[in-house]
Structure 1
């Protein structure tokens, strides 16, 4: 399938790289799901943010313990556990419509994708032949962006379906279960087997992966590299020995800029951001956000193929420069649009609740119309619980004023001046250029 790489090695890498697909899907999924969840549970801005960020709490836990776990129990077993945990976390979410359950499920999913991202890259690197290692590890990165694209497509497909967010979360369950089963039949990493002093098993795995009858040479190379590793301790990372301190600082700086450039926020809130700049319905915002997924895939493929020829430093400089220009453009455009993200997340739950109740008019008799209208405009419905969420209560007052005039909040905004179509599409174009530049310069 790939020149210089055995079929079994490639298939093993592809099965492991499904973790990247699952990770990308979970990262992009919440962008559209939160629009429905916030309306169903009438969530405040803070509660929406907690649901979105709860994934990162689980990821933080796994990132602190993942290295120890994969060295103690193995890379393959870690991927199996991570896939199983993702299935479990998704199953927890489906039967209930509870704020607390959503947080628990998202924490479990965050732990899963973080652990799998650590184990998958190490597993693929250790089973791949040296001259094809970079290409096969990049397969995981490509799967991440494909997963993000699938998530945005899923967001659009289920945006107008009742309880569509449950379908979004449920789609990964079969794939996660299949990966856990398939990984069980794949061999452990030969490097891990040597770490556990199981040289004979490591030799058999290498012979199967390389499709050769003698893997003595590669076995010797692995043993030599492990011996070299043992001369370093954790504290050597902070010393000048072999330039380790400078290497660590460069790595930490790159990771820092990956986070502070705002890319994770775009993944998590793409639909909300687009809704705030003029794509007013959930369907329109979700459809526009699929452009983010498409651009990420299209940008990652050439970056992966040509990084060795062009150089990662060149890609980093070009990508960072274009990102700066696109962010400045977005800022200027959004300044003219007068974007208010807080009012968007405050108003959408009440707006959707009103439209949902309005849809029930078709099943109501004429004699009960008065009661239905009274229930829609009652203080309990419009203000919810003032003590639980003052922000939502204030939103209720705004919506009550709009309802009294026979107009929804969205209609009032339209009367005050809809977002000019040029600014709306310029904002989207700037966002897509930013995403493309990030994918080229800093990765998926």
Structure 2
């Protein structure tokens, strides 16, 4: 079998173009559009997407591994509750600054260089975490890893969108989200494998260096983005990349793609951060930042950062049962992200957001109701005795346990039995299963829509001169909201209860749905240049 790429997808179009070149001296844009529509995603493109998306895998791995690692870290380091929270949020803080800097670096030094830098930072952070012996070094390692996460989370979807055929862009960009969720699943299994090992948390963190090293080795063989190459005076290099993306495509098609990029560059030269708040970039910036905020303020990351805690709230009190259920949630997220690969370019970004966000609102309302039946609407009390006969709420407080004989809450040290009495809401399996079912439905809905669509839409909205900076600002918005959710979840559950917290997320989601309905356009099947025209024509 010949190693040469098959020309079958282009055969009819090549014949039509040959006739067209004789009768019409200029290219038929509809013909070229038809050619791109009939192009297939090659193994080369899949390889690019997978290698580049290793940055997403590392992001997901860090999100998933911290919950297991913290169980061991707190045994080796004496930390206050605030210091524990800072360790969890350290990566998010680093990612915020990494996301801001990624825009400038990717615009000035290239997408590939930014990915190389991210890989180096990942390796450095993993080494520090694996060998640190103080709280300060631990915090430093978490922040350094966060810088790499921030760089990768911005530039990975940006790069993939710029090398993808427009009709396959959704599937290829979603590979990044698939790698993120895959990283989360792997992290949970690594946590189970090393939770009882000596210095297990060091292994959990240190193993993240392996995919980063592999990516660092592979990146020199990955081409630069065609748009970046044209912008920096290398059109022939850009043509070479386009020929790899569209194997067998006629030269006129490649030249037309270069011409479109050049035309965009001639109009959109010398961008700056100030250009982001000017016409026509301001509305796309609002959309991109709004979608990223909605993604995080939906509360999804609480299921990742605090999955075990939520399972404990739901009545799964042993560490083993909580981890098993948490893995099932992560697997649901992964499976539904795989499904999203097949529907994102069929249904469209806007429609899938509107439908899945409604499902998320319903799931959050149901999740809140399930916790009413488990714990009641009882916030955290100053002392155990203040819970009185509220068995479910009592047993969620680590200071307390429920006195079966007296039917009241008391200090845990004064009660030996841990058996859940009949009639204690915390012992209801139906309520626990309702909570798990609601959480799984919520995660599945998120994975199909809000988990990947904001990254995809964000990568499509902006002209080339500000695309890197705009994506950096939007990604930084994501990290700010991520940090807000991570820091406030436990205090909220103690103040307004778990039910109130999930209903708060549902309310935010409702406003988010209105935002999408009113502002977000459909971008499926449109070139990056056609998407930008939507904002110049609508104002």
- Common topology (TM > 0.5): yes
- For 2:163 and 2:193, the matched residues in 1 are separated by 38
How far 1:278 sits from its partner (Å)?
Answer: 2.3
1:114 aligns with one of 138, 150, 168: 150
How far 1:34 sits from its partner (Å)?
Answer: 1.9
Q: Which ranges of structure 2 fall in alignment gaps of 5 or more residues?
A: 6-37, 382-396, 401-410, 453-539
- 5 Å matches for 1:206-245? 206-212=242-248, 214=251, 215-230=254-269, 234-239=273-278, 241-242=279-280, 244-245=281-282
Whether 1:265 and 2:302 are equivalent positions in the alignment is yes
- For 2:243 and 2:287, the matched residues in 1 are separated by 37
Whether 1:439 and 2:447 are equivalent positions in the alignment is yes
8 A contact 1:94–1:166 mirrored in 2 = yes
- For 1:113 and 1:246, the matched residues in 2 are separated by 27
Query: Which deviations, in whole Å up to 9, do the C-alpha atoms of 1:423-443 show, x marking residues without a partner?
Result: 222222221111112222312
8 A contact 2:118–2:152 mirrored in 1 = yes
8 A contact 2:63–2:304 mirrored in 1 = yes
8 A contact 1:191–1:222 mirrored in 2 = yes
More divergent stretch after superposition (61-70 vs 182-191): 182-191
Taking only aligned residues, the RMSD between alpha carbons, in angstroms, comes to 3.1
Query: Which deviations, in whole Å up to 9, do the C-alpha atoms of 1:176-234 show, x marking residues without a partner?
Result: 10111101222222222222212333333333443358433322222222223228664
Sort the Cα spacing of 1:38 and 1:426 in 2 relative to 1 into closer, same or farther, 3 A.
Answer: farther
1:282 aligns with one of 315, 319, 325: 319
- For 1:249 and 1:138, the matched residues in 2 are separated by 22
Aligned to 1:335: 372
Aligned to 1:48: 84
Aligned to 2:50: 14
1:198 aligns with one of 213, 234, 247: 234
2:336 aligns with one of 299, 305, 314: 299
Aligned to 1:317: 354
Whether 1:23 and 2:31 are equivalent positions in the alignment is no
Aligned to 1:69: 105
8 A contact 1:55–1:110 mirrored in 2 = yes
Aligned to 1:346: none
8 A contact 1:9–1:210 mirrored in 2 = no
- For 1:231 and 1:281, the matched residues in 2 are separated by 58
Query: Which deviations, in whole Å up to 9, do the C-alpha atoms of 1:37-96 show, x marking residues without a partner?
Result: 234434332222111111111011011111001111111111111112111111111123
More divergent stretch after superposition (53-62 vs 21-30): 21-30
Q: Which ranges of structure 1 fall in alignment gaps of 5 or more residues?
A: 344-390, 396-400
- For 1:60 and 1:12, the matched residues in 2 are separated by 26
Aligned to 2:283: 246
8 A contact 1:29–1:151 mirrored in 2 = yes
- For 1:253 and 1:413, the matched residues in 2 are separated by 47
SS of the residue corresponding to residue 313 of structure 1 reads helix
- For 1:65 and 1:226, the matched residues in 2 are separated by 22
- For 1:236 and 1:36, the matched residues in 2 are separated by 47
Aligned to 2:292: 255
Tell me the number of residue pairs that the alignment of Structure 1 and Structure 2 aligns: 386
- For 2:76 and 2:379, the matched residues in 1 are separated by 19
Whether 1:130 and 2:169 are equivalent positions in the alignment is no
Sort the Cα spacing of 1:134 and 1:226 in 2 relative to 1 into closer, same or farther, 3 A.
Answer: farther
Bigger proportion of residues as helix: 1
More divergent stretch after superposition (333-342 vs 37-46): 333-342
Sort the Cα spacing of 1:310 and 1:189 in 2 relative to 1 into closer, same or farther, 3 A.
Answer: closer
8 A contact 2:99–2:153 mirrored in 1 = no
Aligned to 2:219: 183
8 A contact 1:62–1:111 mirrored in 2 = yes
How far 1:128 sits from its partner (Å)?
Answer: 2.5
